[in-house]
Amino acid sequence: MAASTSAILIRAGDAPEPVMAFYRVLFTVGLLLPLARGSGKELSRASRRDLLAAGLAGLALAAHFATWFESVDRTTIAASTTLVQTQPVFVAAGAALLLDERVTRRVVGGILVAIVGVAAMSAEGLLGMSTAPQPLLGNGLAVLGAVAGAAYVLSGRSIRQRVAVVPYVLVVYSVAAAGLLASLLVQGQPLSGYAAHEWALMLGMAVGPGILGHTLINWALEHVPSSLVSVSLVGEPVGSTVLAALVFVEIPGALTVAGGVVVIAGIVVTAQAYRG
């Protein structure tokens, strides 16, 4: 439910998407600092390999936010949130390619189903039927966001068995914030001068999708199977689509809805078959 508000808050803001992404992560770090007691001692016991993996996870998270935030304003919220949640598909593929994990026929079937759904969702843009300003670019950015999100999961998934959630996410979010800040400075984006409601929206992104979304998801990985966590995330595009219809009167086209159903089916099949 918290994650479903992310695309709505992005669309409601007028600040540049890279700026919103940076402050979402920065404010999330600030909100977590009161819970950071003992984190320094725990991180000092972590191996260099674990710290390097956490840093890589942070850079991947920065890439995830950078691409997906841009996606939201270029395609429909339904398409953007559904496509970015194809992350479990890329996690399964990445684990097979990089970690030599066995891929079952069911996993392959789920990936193929999701790909068919992605193609169907992009058909409206190809046929000129979408009301979004740049549907194909937006859909492509959402898929890149999913790939970066998968890299984030693969980089940090083993660390969560050895490092508590707060120290882990503080490292990851801090590295992500640094990466996004570097991108802003290169682009020459202003870091201040925004209206009060823009700051409220960015703080809302940190509290809702940041703390109650990403951070609780990381916490849940310690207590329930990762496949269950992955499947639960398919609720985000459903919630976001409903909110977009209520708040922005953004009604997705028939191909987007049909393709979204197929994508979600592929994600569920892949995540349930893959035990990472």
163/209: higher pLDDT: 209
What's the rounded mean pLDDT across residues 50-63?
92
Residue 205 has pLDDT above 80, yes or no: yes
Q: How confident is the model at residue 226 (pLDDT cuts 50, 70, 90)?
A: low
Q: Which long-range contacts (CB under 8 A, 24 or more apart) does 217-221 make?
A: 218/160, 218/165, 218/168, 218/169, 219/165, 221/157, 221/160
Q: How confident is the model at residue 227 (pLDDT cuts 50, 70, 90)?
A: low
Q: Domain spans of the chain?
A: 3-273
CB atoms within 10 A of CB 170: 22
Q: How confident is the model at residue 176 (pLDDT cuts 50, 70, 90)?
A: very high
Over residues 262-272, the pLDDT tens digits come to 988 888 887 77
Is the distance from CB of 10 to CB of 72 less than 8 angstroms?
A: yes
